Amino acid sequence: MMATRETTVNEKARLFRSYHEGLLVLPNAWDSCSAAMIERAGASAIGTSSAAVSWALGRPDGEQLDREAMAAAVHRIAHAVDVPVTADVEGGYGAAPRDVAATVEAVVAAGAAGINLEDSPGPAGSPLHSPDAQAERIAAARAAAARAGAPDLVVNARTDVFFHQVGDPAGRLDEVVARAGRYAEAGADCLFVPGLLDLDLLRTLTAAVPIPVNAGSFFAGGPTVAMLAEAGVRRVSVGTALAGAAYTAALRAAEAFLKNGDLDATAGSLSPLDLDGAMRRPAAG
């Protein structure tokens, strides 16, 4: 099935789900135009980056936007492209299962075919939700998606054991494996472990858990998609990397213009007509 703007959210979720049968390379967008550019580049699906969405709206990362603002951003992104969009909903905008349910209902209404849901309730150093508490939140997300008409919504369960360096380093992989099993039982479709890029550990993890593993390729010089795939990873996302590249290019071009009075640093850029056209193309039929 080829997605169009008329494809239902659940049909897009079903299509997005099918991509996890092989290797899914998932660039992350932060607004309508970045999503349109990623689609033009050939992406089969797009993830949102909660941090980059927040930056674009003048806020720092870490649930500094509320549910309504994030859902509105997801709506703009999902309706700018035909491919499925999965929404980074951070920790769900509230600790209780009912909070997660309300968030899922909001992003499904916005057009999301999937979500990322963290087991971290706050900034680095905060204790993670217990496996049982997070499993209840995942089950609430699953039930809310069905009520909202998207039972095939792809739930990517993010665990921050490595990202927040929780506990004894020697026991972190075992903790992730245990959480993965509990999260899968509750309805998670895949597992995201930011902060884990050790290929040997990823091989062990992907062999031990019952659901596909998402790894983040966030910086130049890190493991390539091919290396991660060889380690058994089935989904590779880039987080804030594309937004960081775009903002860095803007910084460097502005610095050069202010210093030299020319725009040589913008050579090769897309024209205003190209960008305007990306925002005005007719809906596919």
Q: Is the pTM of this model over 0.85?
A: yes
d(C-alpha 20, C-alpha 15), whole Å:
9
d(C-alpha 220, C-alpha 87), whole Å:
24
Given this model, what pLDDT does residue 279 score?
83
Judge contact between 11 and 252, C-beta under 8 A.
no
For residue 190, what are the β-bridge partners?
A: 156
Q: pLDDT digit string (tens) for 123-182?
A: 655 789 999 999 999 999 999 999 999 999 999 999 999 999 998 999 999 999 999 999
Given this model, what pLDDT does residue 204 score?
98
Pairing of β 235-237 and β 190-192: unpaired
Given this model, what pLDDT does residue 220 score?
81
Judge contact between 204 and 180, C-beta under 8 A.
no
**Which structure tokens are listed for 106?**
């909001």
Residues in the chain: 285
Residue showing tokens 């969009």: 85
d(C-alpha 85, C-alpha 110), whole Å:
10
Given this model, what pLDDT does residue 6 score?
62
Residues of the chain whose pLDDT is less than 50? 283-285
Given this model, what pLDDT does residue 1 score?
67
With b meaning 16 or more CB within 10 Å and e meaning fewer, what string describes 224-249? eeebbbebbbbbbbbbbbbbbebeee
Judge contact between 189 and 218, C-beta under 8 A.
no
At residue 21, the 3 state secondary structure works out as coil
Given this model, what pLDDT does residue 62 score?
87
Given this model, what pLDDT does residue 4 score?
65
For residue 115, what are the β-bridge partners?
A: 87, 155
Q: pLDDT digit string (tens) for 83-94?
A: 999 999 999 999
Given this model, what pLDDT does residue 218 score?
81
